[in-house]
Amino acid sequence: MSTTGTRSTIIRLLSHMRDGKEVRDYLNRFSRLDQSRFAVVKVGGAVIRDDLDGLAAALAFLQTVGLSPIIVHGGGPQLDAALDEAAIRSERIDGLRVTPAEAIPVIRKALSAANIAIVDAIRESGGRAASIPTGVFGARLLDEAIYGRVGEPAEVNLDLVEAAVRGGEIPVLACLGETGDGRLVNINADHAVAALVKTLQPYKIIFLTETGGLLDDKGEVISTLNLASDRDRLMSAGWITGGMRVKIDQIQALLDDLPLTSSVSITSPEGLSQELFTHAGAGTLIRRGEKLLTETDKAAVDWPRLEQLIAASFGRKPVADFWTSLDFDRLFVTENYRAGAVISRLDGIAYLDKFAVLEEARGEGLARAVWQAMIDYAPYLYWRSKSSNPVNSFYFQECDGSVKAGPWTVFWKGENDLSRIPGMVRKIAALPETLERSG
Ligand code: ARG
C-alpha cells in the first residue's frame, strides 16, 4: 500500500517530464534550503474531503526526495457538517466564521479529526508526519462582540514545527489559536498562513485546491502571474470575480513580505510534483515580479549595480574601461537589476553588448521580458558569445543566423541586407574582450 502510493506519484512525475535535468536542478535548488523554509502548503477542506489519498501521496513523495513542506489546513466543509450536527448556527461576517463559545469544542474536535486524517493518510502513503493541531499560533480575539471566539494570530511559535522537521516528519498544522489567557480560538486559515509565512520566510507558498490554479475567462488555468506587470490589467478585467480579487490581494500581501525569489503556486495535489520540478509547472505561479526599466541616459544607469549583475551572471567582471569606453545606446533592466541587456552601437547598428541574468532569477520569466523589450526596440540586431556559453541554445533559437569566428559565435537577427553580414561578423569577432579573465 505505502509504496504503491509513492511509486504511482513517481510514475506520474516521470511521465510528465521531458528533461531529467530540469527536475534535478529544481530538486537541488529546493534541497539547498533550510527545510523549514522550503514551503508552506495550504490545504483547503474540500481537498481533504475529496482527494485525501492524492494529497497524501503528493506530500509523501516530496518527503521521499528529501523535502519537508509545512502543511496548514482548513476545514470549511468539515466544520459546517460538525456544527450542523451539533445544531449550532454558523454564519459568516466578512468571510470569517462567527464562532460562539459553545462552538469551540465542536470545532476543536472536527479540526483535530481532519488533522489526524491527513497525518494518517501520509503515513499510509509511506511518509512520516506529525500532528500539530494547537501550540503554534498565539492569538488575540478579533472582536468578541461581533465574531465570538475568532482570533487573529499575534505570535507564531515554531518550536513544534521545527522539532517535527528535525525529526524527519512533515508538520501538519490546524488553524486553532490560543489567547494569552489560554482560551482556544478559531483562526481563519488564510490569516494563519499569512502569519506563518511572515515568520518563516519560505521559498514557496503553495495553495492546494481542487481547481488546481486561477482560472481565466475561458475557464483555463492561468500559468503565470507577474504582479508587477500583470496585476492592473487583470484586476480591471471585466470577468474577474470578487473572490479572485480578494485572493490576488492576499497573495500580493504575502509576497510583499518575502524575498523576490519566493513565489506562490496554486495547484492541485496531482499537479504538485510537476509544478515544483518543471519550468512549465502545472497550476498558477505568482511572483511579485519586477518592473522593466529602459535607460537611454548613460549617466542614469546604476553602473556599480550593473557591473555586479554582469560579474555574477558571467562569473567574471567587466574589464576596467568597459563602461567608460562603451558606445552606450540603452539598457533594458529589471528594477532590481536582476536581468538586463546592454545595447551599444556598432557602425550605427544595434549591438547587444551584454545580456545578463542572475542565477537566482532564472526561471522567473525576467530574461524573456528583457529580451522581448530589446527585440521590440531593436528588431535589427547583432551579438556574439563564446562557443561554450550555455545560453547559446537560446541564442540559436532566437537568431536568424550565426557563424563561428574563432572562440566566438556571432549572431544576427532581422538583417535584411545579407551583404553586410561578413563585414559585421569580422568586426564583431575582432572586438576586444569585455570581461576579465577568470581565475
Ligand atoms: N518549478 C518552478 C517553481 O515551482 C516553476 C513553476 C512554474 N509553474 C507555472 N505554473 N508556470 O517555482
Distance 226 CA to ligand 1 centre (A): 12
Q: Atom 7 of ligand 1 has which residue's CA nearest to it?
A: 281
Distance 265 CA to ligand 1 centre (A): 7
- Which atom number of ligand 1 is nearest to the Cα of residue 281? 8
Distance 270 CA to ligand 1 centre (A): 14
Q: Atom 8 of ligand 1 has which residue's CA nearest to it?
A: 281
What pLDDT score does 1 carry?
41
CA distance 48 to 43: 7
CA distance 103 to 115: 18
Distance 157 CA to ligand 1 centre (A): 30
Instruction: List the domains of the chain with CATH numbers.
Output: 3-287 (3.40.1160.10), 292-430 (3.40.630.30)
What pLDDT score does 242 carry?
86
What pLDDT score does 17 carry?
61
Please name the residues in contact with 210: beta carbons below 8 A apart, sequence gap of 6 or more: 44, 46, 47, 50, 51, 268
Mutate to test the pocket of ligand 1, among 16, 215, 279, 368 (most ligand atoms within 8 A of CB): 279
Distance 235 CA to ligand 1 centre (A): 22
Pocket-forming residues, ligand 1, beta carbon under 6 Å: 26, 223-224, 263, 265, 275-276, 278-279, 281, 283-285, 363
The number of residues in the chain equals 439
CA distance 323 to 337: 16
Distance 279 CA to ligand 1 centre (A): 5
Please name the residues in contact with 326: beta carbons below 8 A apart, sequence gap of 6 or more: 298, 342, 344, 353
Contact present, 139 and 149 (Cβ < 8 Å)? no
What pLDDT score does 359 carry?
87
CA distance 230 to 248: 11
Distance 280 CA to ligand 1 centre (A): 6
Mutate to test the pocket of ligand 1, among 265, 276, 366 (most ligand atoms within 8 A of CB): 265
Each residue's pLDDT, cut to its tens digit, for the chain (439 residues) gives 445 555 556 655 665 666 677 888 888 899 999 988 999 999 999 999 999 999 999 999 999 999 999 999 999 999 999 999 989 888 889 888 999 999 999 999 999 999 999 999 999 999 999 999 999 999 999 999 999 999 999 999 999 999 999 999 999 999 999 999 999 999 999 999 999 999 999 999 999 999 999 999 999 999 999 899 889 989 998 899 888 899 999 999 999 999 999 999 999 999 999 999 988 899 999 999 888 999 999 999 999 999 999 999 999 999 999 999 999 999 999 999 999 999 999 999 999 999 999 988 887 778 989 999 999 999 999 999 998 888 999 999 999 999 999 999 999 999 989 999 999 999 999 999 999 987 5
Read off the amino acid at residue 278: T
In this structure, the number of other CB atoms found within 10 A of the CB of residue 244 comes to: 17
CA distance 226 to 224: 7
